[in-house]
Amino acid sequence: MAETQRVAIVTGAAGGIGRAMTRALLAAGIGVAGVDRDRGPLEALAASAHEQSKTADLLTIQTDLTNDAAADEITRATRARFGRIDILVNNAGIGPGAIRPDSWQRPLKFWEITPDQWRRFVAVHTTAPLALTNAVVPEMMRQGWGRIVNVTTSLGTMLNAGSPTYGPSKAALEAPSAIMAKDLDGTGVTVNVLVPGGITNTPMASESGLDRAKMIQPEVMAPPLVWLVSDAAGKVTGRRFLGVHWDPTLPPEEAAEKAGALVAWTSIATMPDHPEQVLENPRPGENREAADTRTRIGFFPGGAANDP
């Protein structure tokens, strides 16, 4: 393995979308630690890497992301094998079928969800991505280069009836993605969201009864992902991209413009107003800096703006 080879962690790597993204990263010369819960699909992923002549570039890690120790286990194993972590793709997902196998035919109602079921979806879709990002970001900041790609879901799926666990828990990763991008601005570490853009031909849709040939195919995720984790996209952060709208016949920058928008749809949202700061005159014995600080704290508890 070349010393300059980039290394990625991909969660949910053995499923439909994860498998397509893992294959694309391997084809681009990137080492991959592929994480999944089930051994059988991971073995199939390893066989696929062998067909690509990329066996040495793939590490498979079987673990359950609902475990608090998973992030440490994954990052330790990746560093032990490759010596570094440059890219994190938070892709793992569990669908309503994990609660009710015929959920396509008998959609779930929110009042049917137990606390344990809710916690499981949040653990996989929200908590694990945050824990993994926290575990890799310090190293990325030190090296001045890193890529975080969060796979959330489309707005329609977030709001769909019958999706009281999947939609909200995937939506809960959207806001942190925007915050991560702001916190990491200027560090060389980017954070973006990438989604297929609709119902995708994956095992999660196997019981849908829909024509799988007419679904979005997982491979639409490959071209935008490979570009997002490249040096060419070093200034692209805080964006969300729809794989189905990515035109691979266009130069990547043009394709990104066509397929992208701001994370969390802030370009179309009505953002909250904040009261303007009215600077007070210094009190006796107080300099201007102290007066300004007192004014800011008065308007914004803790010295920071609060949403109404």
Which CATH number covers residue 136?
3.40.50.720
Is a pLDDT exceeding 70 seen at residue 19?
A: yes
The structure's pTM equals 0.86
Phi-psi region of 61 (alpha: psi -120 to 50; beta: other; left: phi over 0): beta
Residue 2 lies in a domain: no
Containing domain of residue 289, as a range? 272-308
Is a pLDDT exceeding 70 seen at residue 307?
A: no
Q: Is 83 a catalytic residue?
A: no
Pairing of strands 87-90, 7-11: parallel
Shared domain check, 166 and 211: yes
Residue 64 lies in a domain: yes
Phi, psi of 48 (to 5 degrees): -65, -40
Shared domain check, 149 and 244: yes
Residue 1 lies in a domain: no
Shared domain check, 291 and 222: no
Helix (H) or strand (E) holding 121: helix 115-122
Cα–Cα distance for residue pair 48/14, rounded to 1 Å: 10
Q: What percentage of residues in the chain have a pLDDT greater than 70?
A: 86
Domain total of the chain: 2
Shared domain check, 192 and 286: no
Residue 93 lies in a domain: yes
Residues 6+ apart with CB under 8 A from 75: 9, 85, 132, 135, 136
Shared domain check, 195 and 127: yes
Shared domain check, 284 and 149: no
Is a pLDDT exceeding 60 seen at residue 295?
A: no
Q: Which of 166, 227, 241, 246 is catalytic?
A: 166
Shared domain check, 308 and 259: no
Confidence of residue 156 (pLDDT cuts 50, 70, 90): confident
What is the b/e burial string over 276-300, where b = at least 16 CB atoms within 10 angstroms of the residue's CB? eeeeeeeeeeeeeeeeeeeeeeeee
Shared domain check, 229 and 175: yes
Side-chain half-sphere of 163: how many Cα atoms within 13 Å? Answer: 18
